[in-house]
A and B are shown apart, each in its own frame.
Chain A
Amino acid sequence: MEVETHKYHLTETAKGWGKIFLAATGLIIFIYVIGPLGLQTPMIKPVADFIEDNSINANGYYYTDVAEFSDAEMYMKNAMEYAPDKNNHQN
């Protein structure tokens, strides 16, 4: 009985490691083959290229995780506080 239980555990562990190996293989295929292929589709490619060229952290979860947000905030603040008055220069 004990030997059988031991055997069962060994089989389950082997199965578990097998699944991890399969997942790792799938991940490698996704990173190096499927993922880059998907990025070549006409709708995704321009955005994907843009993200890479501009080093945008598209994975950021909060505004402090993304550098563009601090630039945007300062720009808006300056634009609102030091806005040129168009009416002063009209003919």
Chain B
Amino acid sequence: MNTNTQTSETSEVVIDVAKSSIRDLWTKEDYWAIWLGFLILIFGMLIFFPNPPEDMNQKISHANAIMQSESDTAPFKTIGWYKAADAKLKLKANSVGFGKKLKSYVATPHGWKTNPLDSFMMNQKTADAKNDAARPAYETAKSNTGDLLRMAQLKEAAAKSVGFKNEKLNTETTDAISAWLSAKNKASKLKKKTQNKPYNQLFPLAGLCILFILLFGIGYKIMGKNFTKFAKGFGFVFVLAITSYMLSAQATMKAYGIGYAAWAIAIGLLISNTIGTPNWVKEAVQTEYYIKTGLVLLGAEILFSKILSIGVPGIFVAWVVTPIVLISTYWFGQKIIKIPSKTLNMTISADMSVCGVSAAIATASACRAKKEELTLAVGLSLVFTSIMMIVMPAFIKATGMPYILGGAWMGGTIDATGAVAAAGAFLSEEALYTAATIKMIQNVLIGVIAFCVAFYWCARVECAPGQRVSAMEIWHRFPKFVLGFIGASIIFSTIYGSLGSDVGYTLVDQGVIRGLTKYLRGWFFCLAFVSIGLATNFRELKEYFKGGKPLILYFCGQSFNLIFTLTMAYIMFYLVFPEITARI
């Protein structure tokens, strides 16, 4: 899009007149983000779709047949039902063949506790020592799981012997099955700790750096910029991205929920505000290029069929409450607090009401917010997420709130997705499943919100008072990468739907997305956050926080979100659809 600024002689109102041309397809980064994103998505499909796990279809049919027969036989989910469900969970395209290897080439640095080098390499001796240290706990858990399984089998047999008509026996059996499941999950986690293997992440990281230089550099060159200068600076930006990931992988940082975005911004800010961003690096500080490409990849993760995962209550909690909170918070920011920047107001509102960092990135890009505004929104979200992750489970426990209600509440209100998993799992399995499903449905909303915000900004915000914007003008102004973002979502949702949810889970969810694109999307966002830090001045950032208005906006919006989500979750899960709650 070319933007010419014309000044009306009479009113002196500045009106933007946008133009588009066919050349934009190869000279604008919005389009390059789409080409690069789709290139990666097509590559992923070519790798994962032709290589499904062995006998995938038969295994899925078999498992489904067992679950159907078990649900027809017993009034509760039996041991056989859970084992069949487990068998389906194990079918992952990224666990077989080249897909398995590919994951290790694009993966981020490993977790570590005291030695940062563990993040990049581990020798056989250290791996063996870690496995040996973890084995006793695993053996105990394994033995305990075996005992609990036998106990559950005995109880289930007793309940079955009377045709599942004895309520007391049925309750004892479901309790025994729950205890077995809980022990099995614990043993499964402990087993992973006995399966450490030696690794050296340095060579794959070097390869990844070269790949990214070529990927972004070619587009950069065709856009008429200097490839060599970009390549020189990119190495530095990439090293900072690695450092950010490494710090976020440290055990204590994980516990606090301080992720790569916070580290990337902090490291970038530290450098730019102390020794200054070196001139030879500046050519590779390409925030928008990285973010837009990452967002196109994120589009493929927005699978619309997932919104029905928990039925109508989920849609009400995630898709009715969230937009209402978003619009109310934005209105509150404009009319009551009077935040001067509409883009900051919108970015904070979306970040707080939808799902934190990823929503902030998508919305900020859609309304062309400034990098300082995105930084501020992300910072607020990270601070509140850490607090809510600790306080909400404690509050739910203390008040004796039903865990499914608590899970729905946390899923709808805690910003960061990872923190939702931690807080939900801390309560119970049901709370985790409910919280995670609500959050996932809310995550899917990002696509719709980004599109609507981009449209609203083109049609209403970025024009002079009283100006009527034609459809063509909206098209010229519309951030084109959003089309790639939405396009990827529609294409992948269609593929997912046509494959069926079980095969879709195996090939799309656990193949293209979790085996490739989520890693690359994470890297691109991390590069973008490093770039934001490297290009931001502390003093400019301080200006946006003047009067503490962003904090007041976040606090008030989140308070409303907490009350409204809890009310809606209670009405939906306990008054209107109790039968769905009973199924969980």
Contacts and interface: CB of A to CB of B under 8 A. Distances in A.
A65 to B, nearest CB: 6
Interface string A47-66: 11011111111111111111
Contacts of B77: 79, 84
A5 interface: no
Contacts, number: 217
B255 A88 contact: no
Nearest to A54: B189
A57 B418 contact: yes
B421 A66 contact: yes
Contacts of A76: 309-310, 433, 437, 584
B274 A69 contact: no
Query: What size tier do the contact residues of chain B reach?
Result: 35 or more
A34 to B, nearest CB: 9
B291 interface: no
Interface stretch (B63-71, B449-457, B542-550): B63-71
Interface in B396-419: 416-419
Contacts of B311: 80
A27 B270 CA distance: 12
Contacts of A47: 255, 389-390, 393, 422-423, 426
Interface in B284-341: 298, 301, 306, 309-311
Interface string A70-91: 1111111111111111101111
Nearest to B257: A58
A18 B501 CA distance: 56
A35 B260 CA distance: 17
A7 interface: no
A76 B439 CA distance: 13
A80 B509 contact: no
Contacts of B425: 50, 54, 56, 68
Contact of B271 (A20, A27, A85, A89): A20
Contacts of B582: 86
Residue picked from B67, B71, B421, B584, most chain A C-beta under 10 Å = B421
Contacts of A8: none
Nearest to A44: B390
A71 B425 CA distance: 12
B557 interface: no
Contacts of A65: 417-418, 518, 522
Given A47-B426, A75-B85, A85-B75, A59 B418 contact: yes
B75 A89 contact: yes
Residue picked from A23, A32, A65, most chain B C-beta under 10 Å = A65
A39 interface: yes
A56 B433 contact: no
B437 A72 contact: yes
Interface in B243-280: 247-248, 250-261, 270-271, 274-276
Which 4 pairs, one residue from A and one from B, show the smallest C-beta to C-beta distance? A60-B418, A59-B259, A72-B436, A16-B275
Interface of A: 13, 15-17, 19-20, 23, 27, 31-32, 35-36, 38-39, 43-44, 46-48, 50-66, 68-86, 88-91
9 contacts: A57-B421, A58-B422, A61-B418, A62-B443, A65-B417, A69-B417, A72-B437, A74-B89, A75-B433
Given A84-B72, A86-B582, 18 more contacts: A19-B270, A19-B274, A20-B274, A23-B274, A43-B391, A59-B257, A60-B418, A62-B301, A64-B301, A64-B518, A72-B435, A72-B440, A73-B436, A73-B440, A82-B81, A83-B583, A85-B72, A91-B165
